[in-house]
A and B are shown apart, each in its own frame.
Chain A
Amino acid sequence: MAKLTNIQLFCILFVTMAVTPYQVLAKLLAANVAQHGWVVIIGSIAPGLLLVWIYYYILVNSRRTFPGMLEEHLGTLIGKTLGFVYIWVFFLVVVMSLVIFANFFLSNVLPGMPISILLIFIILPAFYALRNGLETTARVIEIIIMTGYPLAMVLLFLGLGPETDWSRLMPIGSFAMADIAKGILLVSSYCSFMIVVLTLGPFCHQPRLLWRWMLSAYGLFVFSVLVMVVIPIVAYGPALTAVQTFPIFNIARATNIAGFIHNIEIILVSAVMPGVFAILAVFWFVTCYSIQQVFGLQDYRVMIGPTAIMAGILAVLLVPNIHFLYIMLDQIFPWIFITIFGIFPVILALVIRVKRPKGTPSGTTADKK
């Protein structure tokens, strides 16, 4: 069985949650709640912590990895059926990551480039990494986070130029509760990507210490999304942020420090590309691993080939253009993710709690591992 270090798991959890919001969350929140994005982030801390606790609770009370643990707790029929659903939702995240990346690249960096070439060049490294196993992928992701994350954040802070106006975060009182609730749903849906811990947690060296790393990853996620949402607002204001396709890219493009450091958007692109590779590789691994668990296969790696083709084709087929991409990101995907990655695990945790013999302390079953 492959083994991950705690820091590798931390990096994987963080990258799965943070990459997509880095590209799209500023625009989505500005369009929904204008300048109140930071209120939404603070409001999403409680549901996020609940999700972290739920995932940890399920993990320490299960002997199998996800989605095998569905069969363990819910029986073979329901477990396999739900596992089959999870395969496709995990795969949807793979396709969504590809579509966002392709649209980001084609609308900002290299307009006119054939999308098929772009998809091949992002799928190929992930294909190779996954064929070499989880450990290889985890090591690469560790390097990506240690080098790419500081770079991506520094680029954001460089966007705080002379036109920065902190009063754009105000007024605070004029918001509709329904919009704030929708914003919290949006942020929580990205937080729910931490569900990969149910599959990857048992591969960790010290599963008992997982909660620390999960909380650390979540803490860094909250700080990062706060920065991602606040800086475009104070730089451009909510109205302008809401109409830009990728506001953070425009911040990098507009950065000019004393006429000396400018045209540095390519650094942002070189930080985003490995990040997309990471989220793609993690969810692709979880998809193939889920196929292995649900169908009782010998090895998940044989499924990488067919799913590679499917991911590439579906990235073109499912979302016709950037307009529909943002409608889906705003109105459809959050509901799917929060239902499947958020509400279902809460129900699973309740089932575990009800089925557990009286007087058994939490985490007893995991000790048998």
Chain B
Amino acid sequence: MFTALFFLLVVFLLALDVPNLRRQRLNKDLLVYTVFMLLAIYLAMVQFYHWPFFNPLLIMAMQVQGP
């Protein structure tokens, strides 16, 4: 359910941004946008499906906290 809602949100954002970028032939902008959107989707999948995630801040916090 939550995954479906999330993908609806992604489709909404794509519909908001991509047509303009394509119309103006801003290929570099489209490429950077795609990379960031894929990163966002990956992070969402990490959260939804509990994929392994390297969190340097948490590792540092655990080191600081000690045993």
Interface residues of A (CB under 8 A from B): 116, 291, 295-299, 302-303, 305-310, 313-314, 316-320, 324, 327-328, 331-332
B1-32 contact mask (Cβ, 8 Å, vs A): 1 or 0 = 01000000110010011001100101011001
Cα distance A305–B36 when bound, in Å?
A: 9
A328 and B61 within 8 A (CB): yes
Given contacts A303-B36, A305-B17, 4 further A-B contacts (CB under 8 A): A295-B28, A309-B44, A313-B43, A314-B43
> In chain B between 25 and 66, which residues have their CB closer than 8 angstroms to a CB of chain A?
26, 28-29, 32-33, 36-37, 39-41, 43-44, 46-47, 53, 55, 57-58, 60-61, 64-65
- What residues of B have a CB within 8 angstroms of the CB of A302 in the complex? 17, 20-21, 29, 33
B43 and A295 within 8 A (CB): no
Find B47's partner among A307, A317, A319 (CB 8 Å cutoff).
A317
B10 and A317 within 8 A (CB): no
Cα distance A318–B61 when bound, in Å?
A: 11
* A/B interface sample: 6 pairs, CB < 8 A: A298-B26, A306-B40, A310-B40, A317-B43, A327-B64, A332-B61
A93 to chain B, nearest CB (A): 13
For the residues of B in contact with A, the DSSP-based class is helix
Please, how many residues of chain B have a CB less than 8 angstroms from a CB on the other chain?
31
Find A305's partner among B16, B26, B60, B65 (CB 8 Å cutoff).
B16
Cα distance A300–B36 when bound, in Å?
A: 13
- What residues of B have a CB within 8 angstroms of the CB of A306 in the complex? 13, 33, 36-37, 39-40
A320 to chain B, nearest CB (A): 7
B53 and A331 within 8 A (CB): no
Cα distance A299–B64 when bound, in Å?
A: 41
A320 and B24 within 8 A (CB): no
- What residues of A have a CB within 8 angstroms of the CB of B24 in the complex? 298
B13 and A318 within 8 A (CB): no
A303 and B10 within 8 A (CB): no
B55 to chain A, nearest CB (A): 6
B57 and A319 within 8 A (CB): yes
- What residues of B have a CB within 8 angstroms of the CB of A320 in the complex? 58
Cα distance A332–B13 when bound, in Å?
A: 34
Find B64's partner among A313, A319, A331 (CB 8 Å cutoff).
A331
A315 to chain B, nearest CB (A): 10
- What residues of B have a CB within 8 angstroms of the CB of A116 in the complex? 2
Chain A: CB-nearest residue to B36: A306
Find B9's partner among A299, A309, A317 (CB 8 Å cutoff).
A309
A327 and B65 within 8 A (CB): yes
Chain A: CB-nearest residue to B5: A116
Chain A: CB-nearest residue to B55: A318
- What residues of A have a CB within 8 angstroms of the CB of B46 in the complex? 313, 317
Find A295's partner among B16, B32, B40, B64 (CB 8 Å cutoff).
B32
B66 to chain A, nearest CB (A): 10
- What residues of A have a CB within 8 angstroms of the CB of B37 in the complex? 305-306, 309
B57 to chain A, nearest CB (A): 6
B47 and A313 within 8 A (CB): yes
B21 and A296 within 8 A (CB): no
Cα distance A302–B55 when bound, in Å?
A: 27
- What residues of B have a CB within 8 angstroms of the CB of A331 in the complex? 60-61, 64
Chain A: CB-nearest residue to B60: A332
- What residues of B have a CB within 8 angstroms of the CB of A298 in the complex? 24, 26, 29
- What residues of A have a CB within 8 angstroms of the CB of B21 in the complex? 302
A332 and B64 within 8 A (CB): yes
Q: Which of B24, B32, B65 has the most CB of A within 10 A?
A: B32
A182 to chain B, nearest CB (A): 13
Q: Which of B28, B46, B57 has the most CB of A within 10 A?
A: B57
Find A332's partner among B10, B16, B39, B57 (CB 8 Å cutoff).
B57
